[in-house]
Amino acid sequence: MLAFLRRAALAAADEAPAAVALTGGVSSDIWRVELRSGPVCVKRALPRLRVAQLWEAPVERNRYEWRWMQAAARIVPGCAPRVLAHDDAGFFAMEFLDGARYPLWKNELREGRADADFARQVGERLACIHAATANDDGVAKQFATDASFHAIRLEPYLLATARAHPDVAVRLQALAERTAATRIALVHGDVSPKNILVGPQGPVFLDAECAWYGDPAFDLAFCLNHLLLKCCWVPQAQARLLACFDALATAYLDRHVPAGLEQRAATLLPGLLLARVDGKSPVEYLTDETQKARVRRVARSLLVLPPSQFAEVRQAWQES
C-alpha cells in the first residue's frame, strides 16, 4: 500500500504514514492513511469475500469502482468521493470523508432518523446517473462487467436463493436471466444505506465495485429492498421508513422512467428480499426467526404472484 502511495506521489519517499483498517465491508481491505497532506482512504478488492459461504469474485472490479465514481461525479458533482490515484495491482485512493460531517445513512436509519427528504435526494441522484448514461455505447464498453456482476450479485443473491427455495427457483432464475440480459444504463450495483453518506450537499455514494452497464431497475430495487428490511430492524420507525420508500421511488420515477422499469424493479424486489435472508449475503441485523419468517412470507407470496408496481410491494409488506 505504501509503495502504491509513493508511486502515485501521494506519499513522499521518506514518508511512513500511519494506517488504520476500516471495518464494515466484506469484499475489500480499506484503510484510512494519515499522510502529511491529510487523510486519504485506500481500498483493495479481495478475491474471496468475508462471508460464511464460499464467495469468490474477480479483483478487477476495483477498476470499475473508481471508474464509476469518476463517471457519476461528472454527472452529479459531489455524489461520489474524489478519486486521487489508482493502479493495475488493485489499489485505489480517494478522498477521506469524515464521519462527523458525512454520517452513514445506515447509522441514521438505525437511530430512527428516517428522513423522507433525504431518500428523495437519493432517488433523484440515482435517476440522474441512470438517465445520463442510458443507451451510451461508450459507457457500455467501459463497464462491460457481465462476469463480475454475475459473480458478485446474480449468483450469490438470486441463484443461491433459488437453491435454498426450490419451489420458487424457476422464478428466481428467470429474474437473474432477465436482469443479465437487460443493458440500458450505468448501474452502481450496491445502492444500500451502508454505502451512502449523508453529505452536507446531499447523498454521497460509496462502494461501487459491482458497477455494470445493465438494468437500472436493479439499483432502484436494491435500495428500496433495504428500506423494507430496516422496518424489521427499527420497527418503531416503520412509518417513517415506508415514507422514505415512497419518496425515493416517486422521486426516481418522476425523473427517469424507461419502458418497463417499475415493473422490472417491483418483480425483482421480492427476490432481493428473500436473498437477504437465505442467499449468500444475509443482512446481519435480522437474527430473530419471527423477522425472517415475515420476510420469507412476503417475498415468496410476491414471487408467486408478481407485482407490477411498487405500491403492491409496499402494501404486501405493510399488511404482513
Spatial CA neighbour of 16 closest among 2, 29, 32: 2
Is the pLDDT at 12 greater than 50? The verdict is yes
Determine contact, residues 228/131, Cβ cutoff 8 Å: no
Tell me the CA distances in angstroms from 40 to 44, 170, 307, one per residue in order. 14, 46, 44
What's the sign of the alpha-carbon dihedral 91, 70, 230, 319? negative
- Lowest mean pLDDT of 40-44, 195-199, 223-227, name the range: 40-44
Which grid cell is 200?
452536507
User: Quick one: average pLDDT of 57-68?
Assistant: 78
What tens digit of pLDDT does each residue of 148-188 get? 899 889 999 999 999 999 999 999 999 999 999 999 999 99
Type of residue at 31: W
Walk me through the domains of the chain, giving residue ranges and CATH numbers.
2-318 (3.90.1200.10)
Is the pLDDT at 50 greater than 80? The verdict is no
Type of residue at 189: G
What's the sign of the alpha-carbon dihedral 49, 54, 57, 59? positive
What's the sign of the alpha-carbon dihedral 160, 161, 165, 167? negative
pLDDT-derived band at 131 (thresholds 50, 70, 90) equals very high
Q: Report CA 176 to chain centroid distance, whole Å.
A: 17
What tens digit of pLDDT does each residue of 252-272 get? 999 977 889 999 999 999 999
Determine contact, residues 188/219, Cβ cutoff 8 Å: yes
What tens digit of pLDDT does each residue of 85-114 get? 998 777 899 999 999 999 999 999 999 999
Determine contact, residues 232/291, Cβ cutoff 8 Å: yes
Q: How many helices (H) and strands (E) does the chain have?
A: 13, 9
- Lowest mean pLDDT of 82-86, 87-91, 209-213, name the range: 87-91
18: which strand partners? Answer: 34
pLDDT-derived band at 63 (thresholds 50, 70, 90) equals confident
Which grid cell is 30?
480499506
DSSP reduced 3-state for 292: helix
Predicted pLDDT of residue 235:
96
Tell me the CA distances in angstroms from 128 to 172, 215, 289, one per residue in order. 29, 14, 39
Per-residue burial over 7-24, b if 16 or more Cβ lie within 10 Å, else e, is ebebbeeeeebebeeeee
Predicted pLDDT of residue 150:
94
**Radius of gyration, CA atoms only, the chain:** 19
- Whether pTM exceeds 0.85: yes
- Containing 212, the helix (H) or strand (E) segment is strand 212-214
Predicted pLDDT of residue 314:
97
Is the pLDDT at 196 greater than 50? The verdict is yes
Highest mean pLDDT among 62-66, 253-257, 307-311: 307-311
For residue 118, which phi and psi values (nearest 5 degrees)? -65, -40
Q: How many CB atoms lie within 10 A of CB 37?
A: 11
Q: What percentage of residues in the chain have a pLDDT greater than 70?
A: 93
* Distance between CA atoms of residues 235 and 112, nearest Å: 9
Predicted pLDDT of residue 167:
97
What's the sign of the alpha-carbon dihedral 245, 217, 144, 128? negative
pLDDT-derived band at 40 (thresholds 50, 70, 90) equals very high
**∠137-140-146 over CA atoms, to 5°?**
150
Predicted pLDDT of residue 88:
77
Is the pLDDT at 229 greater than 80? The verdict is yes
pLDDT-derived band at 25 (thresholds 50, 70, 90) equals low
In this structure, the chain runs to a length of 320
Spatial CA neighbour of 151 closest among 56, 272, 61, 218: 56
